[in-house]
Amino acid sequence: MNVLFTDVMTVYNHFRSGDTEGWTRSVVRGVQWSHNKTEMTVVEGVQAETKAEKITVDFQRNYGNKPYLPPDEYRKLPPEQNSAYWTLDAKSGQDVIVLGETEQEIDRRYRLSQLKKDFQYAVTVTSVSDNRNRMRLKNIKVVGK
């Protein structure tokens, strides 16, 4: 294991197929999680400061994770195949990541809002940079808020 990528995260991928909607949980190892990084944004001349969680997922080594699929491919999967893969989808605004390994499944009894209340570092994926095509340091960088 790389000494830089010692964190673990749990990814909750949102899926929708016809009338079926839900979240699939995946535990991902080989992660580096940085807390409360400040981001500056300017909208219509107004500057705002927000806190964001920044996560880097190492793809250089094998950590025993499920296979990763790009979001477009993951969205095409039938619901019965979702649990075999994971993704990081900023476009949907529905994927959530949690620092650490969680056992909670999101369903009718345990809602996404409760997950965010129960875990200090539960954030929605807002940005993804896929750097897996590099010769070295293959990774995906994620921002969550």
Q: Write the pLDDT tens digit of every residue in 30-71.
A: 999 998 766 677 878 888 777 799 999 999 999 999 999 999
Other Cβ atoms within 10 Å of 7 Cβ, number: 17
Phi-psi label, residue 70: left if phi above 0, alpha if psi -120 to 50, beta otherwise? beta
Number of helices and strands in the chain (H, E): 2, 6
Alpha helices in the chain, H assignment, sequence order:
71-75, 112-118
Using one digit for the tens of pLDDT, what is the confidence trace for 23-38? 999 999 999 999 876 6
What is the value of pTM for the model shown?
0.90
Other Cβ atoms within 10 Å of 126 Cβ, number: 16
Using one digit for the tens of pLDDT, what is the confidence trace for 92-141? 999 999 999 999 999 999 999 999 999 999 999 999 999 999 988 899 99
Residue 1 has pLDDT above 70, yes or no: no
Confidence band, pLDDT 50/70/90 cuts, at residue 91? very high
